[in-house]
Structure 1
Amino acid sequence: MIPVNELFLFASAALLMVLTPGPNMIYLISRSISQGRIAGVISLLGVVTGFLVHMFAAAIGLTALFLAIPLAYETLKWAGALYLLWLAWQAVRPGARSPFETKNLPIDSKSKLFTMGFLTNVLNPKVAVFYLAILPQFISSEHGSVLLQSIELGLTQIAISFTVNLVIALTAAGIASWFARNPTWLAVQRYFMGFVLATLAVRLALEQRRTA
């Protein structure tokens, strides 16, 4: 069982990641604005199914990783730190755009909405890197089965992502309108997000591998 303080820290990292603009957020916002809330929710169900694929793939891989290749752990750690720094730069770089500056999309069937949400997430490098390079930082062999810890963390991340993205899908039009009227707050959000991501990157880089 993962200690509560570690689980809380992981939940905070998962929340930060889902709030960082990426393919999932952009697709859900675009779909919700173009086709309505129901379309956004159906797309979100596809996204959640994609998370399950990432979770089980990472869980199985992480079990072998921790048992056999400590060096791979260090490689993933640095990859995660570098990726977070890249996300931080994307948030603050000149010309960075808001995910609420979306394009219109054609009307799609429910099955296509679900499938596109699924594919958008399965092929999302942001999610893959999170599971392969960041999730391992919160797993220790002294807390029991690596596989079960991976699944526990994965389900925590999925629950947080679903909740946040559901709110986004239901309120996308209103949020986009608010940011259009208050561009200063959009800039503040970008720089704050960049600072937090950079801080998390430093933490991961300095993290020592925990063993029993």
Structure 2
Amino acid sequence: MPDSTQLLMFIAAGWLLNLTPGPDVLYIVSSALKSGVRAGMVAALGIVSGCFVHVFAAALGVGALLATSATAFTLLKWAGAAYLMWMGVKLLLAKGGDSSIVPAGVSAEVAAVNLWRVYRQGFLTNVLNPKVALFFLAFVPQFIAPGTEDKVTAFLLLGLLFNLNSLPINFGYAWLAGWASRRVGAVQRAMHWMDRAAGLMFIGFGLKLALSDNPSR
């Protein structure tokens, strides 16, 4: 494990990286704007769950496989790009103001299904992006001391810290977006435009991923 100075640097770097807008932040914000803070937080939990998959995969060598195998990287890359673009098209075709959370008065079972959908989409948005696995493979080992005997355990612990460290940032995005949706009437009235903008951005992220090369080359 890193010493206290390196650990503080790791935490600070993680916060800065999580503040950077991308598909994850876009999904959290759009979920919170449409359906409130709770939906945004559920979206954040789905995204972090996807990160845990990549941490374990990288620790077990799957990340190294993605970094060295063009075929494995390409297959996962196209799957992730297709999913991002599918989400984008879905948002473009959505009716304005459509919410992921059902209104008050419906059964708790129905509400749970919709929250699960928000979680699942956040999870898939992250887990189908091979660059997340490669990011952990490139970023985390820099903070593992060369003399560490059990590097796999150290990698897993740092990956766990990075993911838990991201929750305050992601929850903050959800809270701010939910706060705006409750207090700015124009946001609610123009929700269909937000859907369209988010849809175009997801399609853009998908195209960018589809056209990207394996970073190991």
Residue identity over aligned pairs, in percent, reads: 37
Q: Mark the runs of 5 or more structure 2 residues left unpaired by the alignment.
A: 69-93, 101-113, 185-217
1:84-163 matches, within 5 Å, as: 106-108=98-100, 109-124=114-129, 127-163=132-168
Report whether the alignment pairs 1:21 with 2:21.
yes
Equivalent position SS for 1:143: coil
The 8 Å contact of residues 31 and 105 in structure 1, kept in 2 or not, is answered as no
AA matched with 1:156: L
The 8 Å contact of residues 24 and 124 in structure 1, kept in 2 or not, is answered as no
CA deviations over 1:49-102 (Å, ceiling 9, x no partner): 11110111111228x97xxxxxx89xxxxxxxxxxxxxxxxxxxxxxxxxxxxx
Distance in 1, Cα, partners of 2:97 & 2:50: 21
- Structure 1 segments, 4+ long, off by >2 Å, are 103-108, 123-130, 173-178
Quote the offset at 1:164 in angstroms. Answer: 0.9
Quote the offset at 1:126 in angstroms. Answer: 5.2
Equivalent position SS for 1:2: coil
What's the TM-score once normalised by structure 2's chain length?
0.57
Match of 2:215 in 1: none
The 8 Å contact of residues 57 and 133 in structure 2, kept in 1 or not, is answered as no
Report whether the alignment pairs 1:3 with 2:3.
yes
CA deviations over 1:2-54 (Å, ceiling 9, x no partner): 21111111112111110111111010001100111111111122112111101
* Distance verdict in 2 for CA 1:5–1:173, change over 3 Å: same
Report whether the alignment pairs 1:34 with 2:39.
no
Match of 2:52 in 1: 52
AA matched with 1:134: F
Distance in 2, Cα, partners of 1:4 & 1:119: 34
Distance in 2, Cα, partners of 1:57 & 1:16: 24
What's the TM-score once normalised by structure 1's chain length?
0.59
* Distance verdict in 2 for CA 1:2–1:112, change over 3 Å: same
Distance in 1, Cα, partners of 2:10 & 2:44: 22
Quote the offset at 1:105 in angstroms. Answer: 6.9
Quote the offset at 1:150 in angstroms. Answer: 0.4
The 8 Å contact of residues 33 and 173 in structure 1, kept in 2 or not, is answered as yes
Q: Mark the runs of 5 or more structure 1 residues left unpaired by the alignment.
A: 66-71, 74-102, 179-212
Q: How many residues align?
A: 143
Q: Over aligned residue pairs, what C-alpha RMSD do you find?
A: 3.0
AA matched with 2:7: L
